[in-house]
């Protein structure tokens, strides 16, 4: 009987008031549903509601006391180290871990800002390199002669792209063999001292990706000069 109205009959039986009225309406007579005593007297009582309130208060008090005891015990475990050696070791390990976590959380580390600074630095460096690469320094004829001598010392007589012989300028042994018709293509000298057929290098430049022209062998930026036979 939580908070519903209840009636006490003169025969000492207790029912819900609504349930008793429904029973009387269904049977058509006034008799106790338990002992069948007729012509009983009724009285509204509130004992069930009072007991229900007491029961609820006891449950609330028990829950609150349990919560307070658990909080007290947790605080005791956090502050008082245990006497057992194994538990004592775990206690201090947990303390050190908590201190480390507090130190780490105290640092304000903004990773997004850090990565954005790295990206901006890389972009600035890339712009500087592009500007330096864009300013080509013209090579003098004396320097071209030195580069050509360095290329001759490498003793490379075939084009690295098509693997065919270069011009007699870099392949003098073939001048006396009578095969001068195979040197119809012009030879180009790069500033990195590598030699190619002019047509082969042009084809490589057309198929290369990017704005910068790089040597097919050493991948460095270059200036070029066509050699005269």
pLDDT score at 58? 95
pLDDT score at 129? 59
pLDDT score at 71? 93
Instruction: Give domain status of residue 30, yes or no.
Output: no
Domain tally for the chain? 1
- Which range of residues forms the domain containing residue 222? 141-227
Instruction: Give domain status of residue 47, yes or no.
Output: no
Instruction: Give domain status of residue 198, yes or no.
Output: yes
Tokens describing residue 97? 């871990």
pLDDT score at 64? 95
Alpha carbons 46 and 44: distance in angstroms, whole number: 7
Q: Which residues of the chain have pLDDT under 50?
A: 173-182
Instruction: Give domain status of residue 170, yes or no.
Output: yes
pLDDT score at 56? 92
The CATH number given to whatever domain includes residue 159 is 3.30.40
Instruction: Give domain status of residue 215, yes or no.
Output: yes
């Amino acid at each position: 009987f939580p908070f519903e109205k209840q009636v006490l009959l003169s025969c000492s039986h207790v029912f819900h008031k609504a349930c008793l009225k429904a029973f009387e309406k269904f049977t058509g007579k006034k008799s106790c549903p338990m002992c069948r005593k007729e012509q009983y007297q009724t009285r509204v009582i509130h004992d069930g509601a009072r007991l229900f309130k007491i029961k609820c208060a006891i449950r609330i008090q028990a829950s609150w006391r349990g919560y307070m005891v658990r909080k007290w015990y947790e605080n005791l475990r956090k502050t008082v180290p245990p006497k057992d050696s194994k538990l004592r070791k775990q206690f201090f390990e947990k303390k050190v871990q908590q201190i480390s976590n507090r130190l780490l959380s105290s640092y304000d580390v903004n990773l997004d800002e850090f990565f954005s600074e790295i990206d901006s630095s890389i972009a600035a460096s890339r712009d500087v390199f592009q500007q330096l690469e864009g300013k080509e320094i013209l090579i003098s004829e004396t320097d071209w002669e030195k580069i050509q001598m360095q290329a001759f010392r490498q003793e490379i007589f075939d084009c690295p792209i098509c693997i065919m012989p270069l011009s007699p300028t870099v392949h003098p042994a073939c001048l006396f063999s009578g095969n001068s018709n195979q040197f119809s293509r012009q030879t180009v000298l790069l500033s990195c001292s590598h030699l190619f057929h002019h047509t082969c290098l042009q084809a490589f430049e057309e198929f290369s990706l990017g704005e910068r022209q790089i040597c097919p062998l050493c991948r460095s930026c270059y200036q070029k000069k066509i050699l005269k036979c």
